[in-house]
Structure 1
Amino acid sequence: MNPRVVPPAATLQAASAGTAACGGRDVVEYEPCVGNQAVADGGVRRRRPPRLQICLGSEPAAFSEARSSLRECLVKWGLEPFADRAVLAAQECLANAVLHGCRGVEPGESEVTLTAECRTSVLWIGVQDPSTELPLRRDAGVTSESGRGLCLVDGLTDGWGTISSTLGKTVWFELDISGRKAAR
């Protein structure tokens, strides 16, 4: 499966726009994923999917809380059958964001943001880092110690891609939840 570079429309806004200051867990919507909540937008009603957003520093130590928060959120949204795949793929994206996306940046001077959205038929998860350099999927050799992250993301998910912005990039993936049963 090749990555798609078509950004989901609801994710184009900056990760910090309309949310509390980064540095901790920020739950924008945290309710069962049984349909999307109607939101008034300048007199026009539109649907906004339940959403979790976590802003982390660029240290791997913050991953444990992010994984736990994501798993907890997915359970509350009724998506527990998808939690293992989603958390593992998110962990790989977080690791790549810190290892590659924050390369050359002093710890504490950059942020990595994990966003999860429960849409009608798709669970969308993105990891934003400050680098504009797009990820490259590599074919790691049998004895290589690294280079398998995007291959894992590709194998665990139903699609993935990147979004470039002035804030850096977001590597995202989707899981098809239309049947609400984990297929794998």
Structure 2
Amino acid sequence: MSTRARPVATGPTAAAPPAATYRLPSNQQSAAHAREALRYHLQAWHIDGEPAHSAELLLSELVTNAVQAQASAGPEVGVRFALSDVCLRLEVRDASNELPVMNEAKEDEECGRGLALVDALASGWGVERDGTGKTVWAELAVGDASAPRPAPAPLSP
């Protein structure tokens, strides 16, 4: 190295955005467990009010759909939430290769409105296949999340 050469200065590195990942059994109670875990993180990230309620509803619909989609395809569903600058991303992974379908439910039907709710509430949503299943994700605008937010301690199952 030349006497005039200087090592490249390194600036502060950006911390990874707050995120949490859970594995839940593929059963009817999983939506409730996922909502409980999400509430914990939303509180730690100082997200409340309408964005928090919408996030819980979105997650509940995604988990319920995943459990139904993989009835016998896998024992678990994966759940992940991540907070970026102004967006909360909710991801639910299952072992089914079947893509979700938005149905038009009739007035007297109790089921079939989940993806319509996701489509109405989310800033965006989609599906990523990976050969052994899929991840359905939804993003929700949560305002200015640029303020420092502590990473919460892991929630015990």
On whether the aligned pair clears a TM of 0.5, the verdict is yes
Structure 2: how far apart are the matches of 1:167 and 1:49? 27
Q: What is the Cα-based RMSD across aligned positions, in Å?
A: 1.8
Q: What amino acid is the match of 2:16?
A: R
Structure 2: how far apart are the matches of 1:85 and 1:55? 22
Q: Deviations over 1:141-161 (max 9, x none)?
A: 112221100001111211111
Q: Tell me which residue corresponds to 2:59.
A: 90
The question of 1:165 aligning with 2:130 is answered yes
Q: What amino acid is the match of 2:133?
A: G
Size of the aligned set, in residue pairs, is 133
| Equivalent residue runs for 1:82-121 within 5 Å | 82-100=51-69, 102-105=70-73, 109-121=74-86
TM-score (norm 1): 0.67
Higher CA-based Rg: 2
- More displaced, 137-146 or 127-136? 137-146
Structure 1 gaps of 5+ residues are: 1-44
Q: Tell me which residue corresponds to 1:129.
A: 94
TM-score (norm 2): 0.78
The question of 1:70 aligning with 2:38 is answered yes
Q: What amino acid is the match of 1:94?
A: V
Structure 1: how far apart are the matches of 2:61 and 2:100? 12
Shift of 1:76: 0.5
Structure 2 gaps of 5+ residues are: 1-12, 146-157
Structure 2: how far apart are the matches of 1:161 and 1:55? 20
Shift of 1:90: 0.4
Structure 2: how far apart are the matches of 1:116 and 1:62? 15
- Percent of aligned pairs with the same residue? 35
Shift of 1:88: 0.7
| Equivalent residue runs for 1:38-53 within 5 Å | 45=13, 47-53=15-21
Label 1:168 to 1:46 Cα distance change in 2 as closer, same or farther (>3 A). farther
Q: 4+ residue stretches of structure 1 with deviation over 3 A?
A: none
Q: What amino acid is the match of 1:58?
A: S
